[in-house]
Amino acid sequence: MTPKLTIGIATCGRPRILKRCIRSIEKFTNINYEIIILDNVKAFTNDEEAIPRLSSKYRYIEIADRKIGCCESNNILQNNCDTQFFMHIDDDVYIDSKGFIDKLFETYLQLEEKISNLAVVSASWYDTFYRNFRHGSMYYLFGIDRANRKTVKKIPIDYTFLKKLNIQSTQTDESLHTMILDLNKFKKLGIKWDNHFKWKGDRLDYFMQIKKNNLVNYQLLDLVAIHDPKPFKYGSLSYENFGGKEAIEYFRRKWNIQPIVGWDKPQIKPR
């Protein structure tokens, strides 16, 4: 049957956690779907047989001649999508409840009928590193600093606080990477990931484009995926500094806004 949804997974030579992600999708998903794997195998792997086994069942794109960032990976996945609807999911995320993607997709379609300017619908995350939920919503706070520069800062809204209010979904300025979108709408508006950003600034830039086009995003609080970043230690890309200061400067020039962020700080290693 023709798939209704394409699920794109970017990875970098990490077959063990990639398999965990895919197996969870296979186990808990009923709708017709296709999976595309983008593997930047510049990172090493100790399981050379894992990827060929997976690629025999799903579409597999390998980039082995250079390191690429999140934005380029996301663009390649979207450009190879043959369906109208596309889902991003990180390789170190997995689901553990039946009908998870079915419910996420169904909710997207229901909201799209009511909200003409809908952009993205995402699930929430439980993060095993922090042993807590990621934000329940994220807002961009715009201001002016003492140097008379326009600024933007991310303001997270606590997931547990929102759940105590019995809120099932929230409008958010930035979504987590278990998100569904309508590619036709994004192509028409020219919204895409900016390849100048590697591993810093990619999400803020992408969702600023969405905001600029007066689109809205929603995050579902009753759908929670598991984000388990500890296996990053298996990849050679883990703790390199991918130009945080350069990303800040590029973002400032592009948007004429100073991002109040910590992209230039060292990354915290998993426990």
Assigned domain for 14 exists: yes
Task: State the Cα–Cα distance between residues 196 and 81, nearest whole angstrom.
Answer: 22
- Per-residue pLDDT reduced to its tens digit, 222-258: 999 999 985 444 434 434 444 688 899 999 999 999 9
pLDDT for position 233: 42
Assigned domain for 268 exists: no
Full-model pTM: 0.89
23 C-beta neighbours (distance < 10 Å), count = 12
Report how far Cα 231 is from the mean position of its chain's Cα atoms: 17
Question: CATH code at 15?
Answer: 3.90.550.10
Assigned domain for 189 exists: yes
- Total domains in the chain come to 1
Assigned domain for 267 exists: no
Residues 6+ apart with CB under 8 A from 235: 12, 13, 14, 43, 44
Task: Confirm if 32 and 3 have CB atoms less than 8 A apart.
Answer: yes
Task: Confirm if 121 and 217 have CB atoms less than 8 A apart.
Answer: yes
Assigned domain for 96 exists: yes
Q: Which domain holds residue 228?
A: 5-259
Task: State the Cα–Cα distance between residues 162 and 137, nearest whole angstrom.
Answer: 9
Q: In angstroms, what CA-CA distances link 186 with 193, 213, 261?
A: 11, 10, 26
Assigned domain for 264 exists: no
pLDDT for position 63: 86
Assigned domain for 62 exists: yes
Which amino acid is it at 151? Answer: T
Mean pLDDT, consecutive 10-residue stretches, the chain (271 aa), reads 87 86 96 93 52 69 84 95 96 95 97 96 95 96 94 97 96 97 97 90 96 98 91 42 77 95 64 45
Beta strand pairing status for 118-127 and 216-227? Answer: parallel
State the number of CA atoms in the 13 A half-sphere of 109 facing the CB: 11
Assigned domain for 95 exists: yes
pLDDT for position 199: 77
